[in-house]
Amino acid sequence: MTAPRPSRWISVGLWVFAFAGMVVIAGYQRRTGPTWPVSGVSDVPGGGEIAWSLPRSETTGTAARIEIPDPGPGVEATLAWRRYPTEDAFTVIPMEPIDGRRAAQLPTQPPAGKVEYRVELAAPGGLAVSLPSGEAVVLRYKGAVPAAVLVPHVLAMFLGLVVGMRTVLQAARGGWGLKPLAWTTVALLVLGGLVLGPIVQKYAFGAFWTGWPAGADLTDNKVAVMVLGWLAAALSLGRPSVAGRGRRFFVLIAGAVTLAVYLVPHSLRGSTLDYDRVDRGEDPSRAVGTGR
């Protein structure tokens, strides 16, 4: 028996709940992604403290600007960096005082090129502090992506997440109208993840697809898994042989797969320039791999 159509206010409430869920998940992806800065508050040698934020992404052709609040007179600030992942010796650059801050620049790298760096603060008497105090910050360079491609990609993925969550909520509630919702989810995820996503990646890192079988990019792989999950759910809704509860089960499974996918940090095991191959004379555009 088909579940009754939800009232208008229940339907609106479910859409609001789905949108709120998307905002939470998108925020998590943003904060755990490779472009979110590393931030903290550290003591300054000789007294006081500073709040700092260090970038992890920059566009190829632009030298990444690294700056911190001025730690005070008598404190020397330097920027130590090297290509990542390599065993290069760290290059140390003095950070110059500019408008109440200390700043230096990292040299630009080809798309997918990474550098690791830290800020060192030193005061007379041998007192020293590293920002951050643990592992160095890894910054990745990327090619410029036109807004005409990037914006539709992001919108399609977020709308696909909203509609997908709305579909799951409806399946959990009773199952009315699941088929058009599920196919809309599939269409948005295919557009955002399998059409526009590879174009964005081509601009950014020089390759359309770096997931299986071409590479180990988890972002590409998890998008493919998510689309397959929703495609299976949508197809099950059109099969008379699948009972109502079975159809709802497939939708709920697709929702669980989607949640698991978005809990994986964005760009994990993504595109990375292999500097060993570059040092052997290979064109950087052909020396991009995945997995680190």
pLDDT at 8: 82
Nearest to 95 by CA among 85, 86, 103: 103
Mean pLDDT of each 10-residue bin along the chain, 292 residues long: 66 94 91 89 86 96 96 92 96 95 97 96 85 92 96 96 95 82 96 95 89 76 93 84 65 93 76 93 88 60
pLDDT in the model for residue 251: 93
Instruction: Please state, in angstroms and rounded to a whole number, the distance separating the CA atoms of residues 287 and 111.
Output: 10
In angstroms, the CA 153 to CA 148 distance is 9
Question: What is the value of pTM for the model shown?
Answer: 0.86
The domains of the chain are located at 8-32+145-290, 38-142
Distances from the Cα of 36 to the Cα of 42, 73, 114, angstroms:
19, 30, 15
CATH 3.40.309.10 assigned to domain 38-142? The reply is no
Sign of CA dihedral 56, 59, 63, 67: negative
Number of Cβ within 10 Å of residue 1's Cβ equals: 5
Closest CA to 38 of 143, 142, 139: 139
Q: Which two tokens stand for residue 233?
A: 């759910």
Contact 254, 237 (CB under 8 A): no
pLDDT at 134: 84
